[in-house]
Structure 1
Amino acid sequence: MTQIKIGQYVASDSFLHRLNPKVKIISMVLLMVSIFMIPIKLDTVNLILLGSMFLFSLILILLSSIPFKMVLQNIRGIVFLLVFTSVLQLFYIQEGTLWLESKMYFGLASLLSIIALLIFYNITKKYIKFKSIYFILVVTLIFVLQALLPYMTWVTYNLNIYSDAVVRIIFIFVRILTVIIVTSLLTYTTSTTELNDGLESVLKPLKYIGIPVSVFSMMLSLTLRSIPTLLEETDKIMKAQASRGVDFKESKLVEKIVQVISLLIPIFVVSFKRSLDLSNAMEVRGYILGAPRTKLISYQWNIKDTISIIIPIIILVGMITYRMMF
């Protein structure tokens, strides 16, 4: 749990930290739209565009002075979803050039081998440092075993890997990775106050149609900042239960369900208590919902902000032009 860093602010004096929060929010949205504008096709230009967007996100990490490992920790929680999606793409996308054709055998021999592999995985995963890569390797070996063990077969099927399926998997992975990097950098380099001020400034036009922008921006910023707090409390509860003999990793499925339920109840209690403490603290400090407030920080627009918002606009305009032309 402590490895997930979503919503955590990292104090620094980097280039991204000094930018206007409004610029960072707008630029993040523009970059996310741009990455999803790239067509999912096996084309040299598309691959170059995708690689360029990913490279640009890596440059942003350097400009933020945030450790690269810390940013990538946020993707660990969705590794299973990425692998599951990739397997579905391999089976259901049957278009493009046939890259690999293999006959798969599912029977007693392959089943016993897969069970042995899963047992070995559960025993050894606690000693492996790169668990995500290890999990992907095990999933790959499951299919390799079915191809190499044509004994006592019950069912046979063909595994045909097409170029479009592989390209779609690459695009999905790089897109998600780039989006995680961009969104993580926003929360890493923007404090709660700055994030609230930035959201309120970006959404200011909605005031004219009666939407309480200040309330909405405050709710959104508090929600983002509550994520690391809840994860930290969850980790404390898990360690407390582990000290009482609860094993969240080696238990059976039914036991894990009971353990999760026993974990959810104290988490809800803690979250409500934290919310009550926060509301009391805000009330003591004179916060009135929807009332006009002065700003603690006065933001001055400078040339860095101009350049930082022009670049994402140019990227988005270029992507739109490319989609219209091709």
Structure 2
Amino acid sequence: MAIAAFAVLFNTALAKNLPRVEVFLLVLHVFGLFAIITVLWIMAPRASARDVWFEFTNAGGWNSKGTATMVGLLSPVISTIGYDCAVHMAEEVNNSSSTLPKAILWSFTFNALLGFIIAITLVFTLGNVEEVLASLTGYPFIQIFYNTTKSYTGTNLMTLIVILTLTSSAIAEVATASRQLWSFARDRGIPGYRWVAHISPAYNIPLNAVLVSSLVTSLLSLINIGSYVALNAILALTVVSLLTSYIITISCLVLKRFRGLPLPPSRWSLGPWGLPINVAALCFLAPIYVFSFFPLATPVEAETMNWAIVIYVGVMGFATIYYFVYGHKVYLPPVALVKRDEYRY
């Protein structure tokens, strides 16, 4: 809740200084990562290349290592999605139609490279896997830091870098989530859209949407007090929801391309590579989408069950009922405004 409140502060009273803060956080992100990597390279024990590249552990009790690998993709996939967050700030970005696609591609490429480096570093330096996973801290990466430095001070400093980086990401998450919520409310797509879509003259931002995003975050954090199983189900739902939105959006593009229908005019285009890239993206997303509903281990019990499917069906059911009962009467899709402006001019 404190982190959520901190993020709200930066998105309201300090909103004008957000670009400067983001630059500072980018520097922290890069130099902090290399600081951690350097310590691990110099001080950590080394695993053999054979163990790193050819030894597989099926800790979930699945019938094959392939199934275990696919189920285990849930965590790494989280780091490869969410780059669309920049799109939600489009109406506050100059020259957004060309700036945002470049920002998405550069941020993904840059972070994928850094992510690959840190991943390889960790698997070469993590030491005894069972010991790391059984860490009393509850966080294996902290145990790796301690095993490397043999120092509480060194471990705390390295962990602090991770905490600051995650906290800074919360600032950006609140900004993008509030804008997405605001734009959907502006299109009259959610209950209470008039209040949520209000722009505060004092801050010149969707203050109500920011506060709602913070409130939802705080309420969700309380779930962990009663049941970490329920919280994990909601966190898993985040991945499934994003994958669903990607699949629907890309499928619409593929369908239009196969039908030979024109796509909306744009300043950024993949050209002739558009269709193959779209199809490849769907082939990549589809199996991950299916395995996102799998539990992490077998045999499955109530506490180890992945309850994301239940919440997913409930949310989709509520949204569908709301749309057919009331939403379709007031919802105004952005494409209608675009066509109106084209007709006008």
TM-score by length of 2: 0.28
- The structure, 1 or 2, with the larger RCO (C-alpha pairs under 8 Å, 6+ apart) is 1
Which of the two has greater strand per residue? 1
Between structure 1 and structure 2, the one with the greater Rg is 1
